[in-house]
Amino acid sequence: MNAPSHPSAPTPGPIAVCMHGFAPVAADGTRLHDASAETWDDVFAQVERLGFTAIEIADSHIRPSELTASRRAELKSVATSHGIELVSVHVQRQSVIQPGKGEENLAYAHRAIDAAAELGMRVFSTGLHQPFSEAQRAALWFWTAPGPVDPDDADTRALAVRRLRELGEHAASVGLPMSLEMYEDTYLGTADSAVRLIEEIGLDNVGLNPDIGNLVRLHRPIEDWREMHEKTLPYANYWHMKNYARDEAADGSWQTSTPTSMELGLINYRAMVARALELGFRGPFLMEQYGGDSLGVCARNRDYLTSLLPATAGA
């Protein structure tokens, strides 16, 4: 199968912001998912003040499919009042092959697709990453501790393909692209495996989220970031963008990383964005940042990315 076809829009965009800068649970124990409209209004007001016009709804914070219809309408109304588009829903750590929960997670993903369509989103985003291990929950940076690993098993991989194809077909039926996020120790954990998975699924609306930052940050040997992008960008239809300062010993005895801005990290986004546009990327971008003032760094990254795009892109 060839790489998924890209939309015919002349420029990519919009540039959205992640929800990492907002607490998923308030000090009083109230989940953002269950928060009042006033609390949601404050979230979108902050996003607006930073100059963003789009946001990704991460289900770590709000699960649109698990809201009532009236609450979904309220979510969209509050966002729209601040000029903010709900560009995508990102279903994370709900792998369709998670032991003991795969079928439950599959059903949830189907509901998430319907909610995304109802809210007029542009992308349904998910992956194969699973909930954090105890070691990851205890670590300063979760990527420095071992987490779940997809088995090297043909039957399990085939199950992943079947279930993801089922979700892709559902997404296509409601007019949505589906994007699969690259993530370590999953079938989307290397460039070759991720591309092969997309080809095995075999649907034009299913592509990759080439979040190479997820791999650059690992405290272990990694593939060359240039080669990973070259292999995956032809299949990209949505892009989580973040960067890390990385250092490693020449003999491979140690590796370390820390979050930084898109401009300062290991990945040369000027070169990679130019290559993506050359290959026909036309999807939305998502600014993502762990640690510090996530929202502030995302805003700086947005300005940097805007400088790399055609003048009419990112709207």
What's the pLDDT band for 12 if we cut at 50, 70, 90?
A: confident
Mean per-residue pLDDT over the chain, rounded: 95
Q: Which long-range contacts does 48-52 make (Cβ < 8 Å, 24+ apart)?
A: 48/82, 48/83, 48/84, 50/17, 50/295, 50/296, 50/298, 50/299, 51/299, 51/302, 52/15, 52/16, 52/17, 52/84, 52/298, 52/299, 52/302
Instruction: Please tell me whether residue 168 adopts helix, strand or coil conformation.
Output: helix
Read off the pTM: 0.94
pLDDT of residue 54: 98
Q: Calculate the CA 3 to chain-centre distance.
A: 19
Q: Give the residue carrying structure tokens 């949830």.
A: 108
Confidence of residue 47 (pLDDT cuts 50, 70, 90): very high
Q: Which residue reads 């404050």 in tokens?
A: 42
